[in-house]
Chains A and B, each alone.
Chain A
Amino acid sequence: MASALINVPKKAKRGDIIEIKTLMSHIMETGYRRTATGELVPRDIITSFSCRYNGVEVFRADLFPAIAANPFITFFTVATESGKFDFEWIGDQGFTETASAAISVE
Chain B
Amino acid sequence: MKLIRTIAVAGLLLAAGFAVPRLCATEIPQAERRSGYTFMSPDTKAIQDDDTANPGMLWVLDGEALWKRKTGTADKACADCHEDARASMKGLAARYPAYDKTLGRPVNLEQRINLCRAQHQQATPLPYESRDLLALTAFVAQQSRGMPITAGADPQLEPFVAKGRDTFMRRQGQLNLGCTNCHNDNWDKHLAGSAVTQALPTGYPLYRLEWQSLGSLQRRLRNCMTGMRTQIYDYGAPELVELELYLMSRAHDMPIETPAVRP
Q: Which of B55, B135, B213 contacts A72 (CB 8 A)?
A: B55
Query: B191 in the interface, Cβ–Cβ < 8 Å?
Result: no
Q: Which of B50, B61, B135, B212 contacts A68 (CB 8 A)?
A: B212
Query: A56 in the interface, Cβ–Cβ < 8 Å?
Result: no
Q: Which of A23, A25, A68 contacts B209 (CB 8 A)?
A: A68
Query: A6 in the interface, Cβ–Cβ < 8 Å?
Result: yes
- Contact indicator B55/A21 (Cβ below 8 Å): no
Task: Across the interface, name the chain A residue whose C-beta is closest to B59.
Answer: A25
- Contact indicator B212/A1 (Cβ below 8 Å): no
Query: B129 in the interface, Cβ–Cβ < 8 Å?
Result: no
Given the known interface contacts A1-B62, A3-B61, the answer about A70 and B52 at a Cβ–Cβ threshold of 8 Å is: no
Task: Across the interface, name the chain B residue whose C-beta is closest to A7.
Answer: B52
Q: How large is the interface on A (under 10, 10 to 19, 20 to 34, 35 or more residues)?
A: 10 to 19
- Contact indicator B58/A6 (Cβ below 8 Å): no
- Contact indicator A23/B52 (Cβ below 8 Å): yes
- On chain B, the number of residues with a Cβ less than 8 Å from chain A's Cβ atoms is 16
Q: Mark B53-78, 1 if CB is under 8 A from A, else 0.
A: 10101100110010000000000000
B window 61-115: CB within 8 A of A: 61-62, 65
Query: A69 in the interface, Cβ–Cβ < 8 Å?
Result: yes
Query: A5 in the interface, Cβ–Cβ < 8 Å?
Result: yes
- Contact indicator B62/A3 (Cβ below 8 Å): yes
> Smallest distance from the beta carbon of B69 to chain A beta carbons, Å?
10
Chain B residues engaging chain A, CB cutoff 8 angstroms: 47, 50-53, 55, 57-58, 61-62, 65, 131, 135, 209, 212-213
16 contacts between A and B (CB under 8 A): A1-B62, A1-B131, A3-B58, A3-B61, A3-B62, A5-B53, A5-B57, A6-B52, A7-B52, A7-B53, A21-B50, A21-B52, A21-B53, A23-B52, A69-B55, A70-B212
